[in-house]
Amino acid sequence: MIANYGYKDGSGEYYISIDTDKCIDCAAERACLTACPKNMFEIITDDYDDEVAWVKKECTRALAYDCAGCKPAAGYTSLPCASACTPGAIKHSW
Amino acid sequence: MNAEVAAATAPEKKEFWRWQENTWFDESKNWKDAKIITCGIDVGSVSSQAVIVCDGELYGYNSMRTGNNSPDSAKNALAGIMDKIGMKLEDINYVVGTGYGRVNVPFAHKAITEIACHARGANYMGGSKVRTILDMGGQDCKAIHCDEKGKVTNFLMNDKCAAGTGRGMEVISDLMQIPIAELGPRSFEVDEEPEAVSSICVVFAKSEALALLKAGYTKNKVIAAYCQAMAERVVSLLERIGVEEGFFITGGIAKNPGVVKRIEKLLGIKAVDTKIDSQIAGALGAALFGYTLMQKQGAKAA
Ligand code: SF4
Ligand code: SF4
């Protein structure tokens, strides 16, 4: 399942997409949990009883601000979350 | 000040937003004949529904306004249908809670997100051809893709603001002082289709609507501009996940043709028809999940 967390507003579209099928047998030992300086990810049991990563609900409405520190404008060449997730489950829309 | 502006700015005496609460059950069947009875309770931000499913088939439901707290809303929604059919809580084998208040349904055996439940409900209501689901809820809007069994494959939720939701429509209904059920039909009673209102926020949209009235728009034209704005907003959400044939709309706004027809026009796809009230999709999906879980338990025990 592709789960998109985030929002769209006048300034753009801010979504973090997680391909949860890749999380079921995570080959990165849940590296997303420790990679994110804002502690945005959490492992949950989804509606189909699979253990997958998701973006905590309280984080989904402020992604443009919270992720700003990891973006190229802040000097990063790659996102810590996406780099740590070697299965390639995490994508950002902006 | 012209009469329309005066009417729109006058103190609100009547609750024009009030939509019809309803209860229904299948009189051709008797729930006492069922082997497995499951219930889904959807406690949404604006409305709550309780659905009874007998042996995997829809039997009855009750839909009402969400009250001050989730547990009471869940109890009242269920009491509304149980009283009508003479059922007691102990007659129900499994209860699944869903919706924003799902973890606060006191007698639920399990809580499942509304995303999965709407997909499951839409699959029942529209058949296995349903692939893209738009749930226009009270305070959020969801775009969902599912497979032929109603299992979610992709979803996106927008809950950052109330524009493009049922609550947004209620605000316009009260502002225009027109009963909510009349907004859709009245939005077509215009000489030419107006531009969509530009604001995407309910608060600003309200002042924009007043400005349009002051500029000489009729109420119908303002409503049309609103319906168009809502349609454009949800279509942009849908386009992010991609729209496929087998398009189904759930939630209260599915009953507003002013929004639905404009969405269909923008997408170039007609929504799948159903005879079942679109507002119960989440609770129905929850009850169907309960049925599957009961079947699994039965299979394990056998
Ligand atoms: S997001 Fe990536 S690192 Fe995190 S659990 Fe899923 S696959 Fe593993
Ligand atoms: S970009 Fe940074 S803050 Fe945002 S989710 Fe990834 S690691 Fe966390």
**Interface touch A10/B200, C-beta < 8 Å:** yes
The predicted-structure confidence for B181-196, as pLDDT tens digits, reads as follows: 899 999 999 988 888 7
**Among protein residues, the one whose CA lies closest to atom 3 of ligand 2:** A67
Secondary element (H or E) of residue B144: strand B141-146
The predicted-structure confidence for B110-152, as pLDDT tens digits, reads as follows: 999 999 999 999 999 999 999 999 998 877 889 999 999 999 9
CA–centroid distance, A85 to ligand 2, in Å, is 12
Q: Which residues of A touch B157 (CB under 8 A)?
A: 4-5
**Interface touch A2/B113, C-beta < 8 Å:** no
First to last CA, chain B: 75
**Interface touch B155/A3, C-beta < 8 Å:** yes
Average pLDDT by consecutive 10-residue portion of chain A (94 residues)?
A: 90 93 96 97 95 94 93 85 97 94
Q: Which residue has the tokens 């007698």?
A: B107
d(CA A6, CA A58) in angstroms, rounded, equals 10
Angle (nearest 5°) at CA B285 between B282 and B291? 145
Give the SS3 label for residue B98.
strand
The predicted-structure confidence for B226-272, as pLDDT tens digits, reads as follows: 888 888 888 888 988 999 889 999 988 888 899 999 999 999 999 99
Chain A nearest C-alpha distance from B145 (Å): 9
List the one residue out of B95, B139, B143 whose CA is nearest residue B118.
B143
**Is any ligand 1 atom within 6 A of the Cβ of residue A81?**
no
Q: What is the DSSP letter of B179?
A: -
Q: Which residues of A touch B113 (CB under 8 A)?
A: 47
CA–centroid distance, A31 to ligand 1, in Å, is 6
The predicted-structure confidence for B1-29, as pLDDT tens digits, reads as follows: 555 565 555 554 577 776 678 899 999 99
Give the SS3 label for residue A69.
helix
First to last CA, chain A: 21
Q: Is A25 exposed, middle or buried (0-12, 13-18, 19+ CB in 10 A)?
A: exposed
Strands B37-43 and B94-98, how do they pair? parallel
Predicted pLDDT at A54: 96
d(CA B93, CA B39) in angstroms, rounded, equals 8
d(CA B147, CA B141) in angstroms, rounded, equals 20
Q: How far is CA A47 from the centre of its chain?
A: 19
Residue A45 neighbours by CB distance under 10 Å: 9
**Is any ligand 1 atom within 6 A of the Cβ of residue A90?**
yes
List the one residue out of A93, A94, A74, A89 whose CA is nearest residue A32.
A89
Q: Measure CB to CB from residue B158 to each of A1, A3, A7 and give the nearest one.
A: A7
Q: Any CB–CB contact under 8 A between A21 and chain B?
A: no
Q: What is the DSSP letter of B68?
A: S
Among chain B, residues having any CB pair with chain A shorter than 8 Å are 112-113, 115-116, 151-161, 200, 236-237, 240-241, 289
List the one residue out of B244, B243, B249, B253 whose CA is nearest residue B271.
B249
Q: Which residues of B touch A60 (CB under 8 A)?
A: 159
Predicted pLDDT at B232: 87
d(CA A56, CA A45) in angstroms, rounded, equals 13
> Which range (B43-47, B111-115, B155-159) has the least confidence?
B155-159
Indicate the pTM of the whole model. 0.89
Residue B96: phi, psi to the nearest 5?
-115, 130
Predicted pLDDT at B136: 85
| CB within 8 Å of chain B, chain A residues 27-86 | 47-48, 60-61
d(CA B257, CA A69) in angstroms, rounded, equals 44
Buried b / exposed e across B160-169, counting CB within 10 Å, b at 16+? bbbbbbbbbb
d(CA B181, CA B239) in angstroms, rounded, equals 28
Predicted pLDDT at A76: 79
Residue A53: phi, psi to the nearest 5?
-85, 150
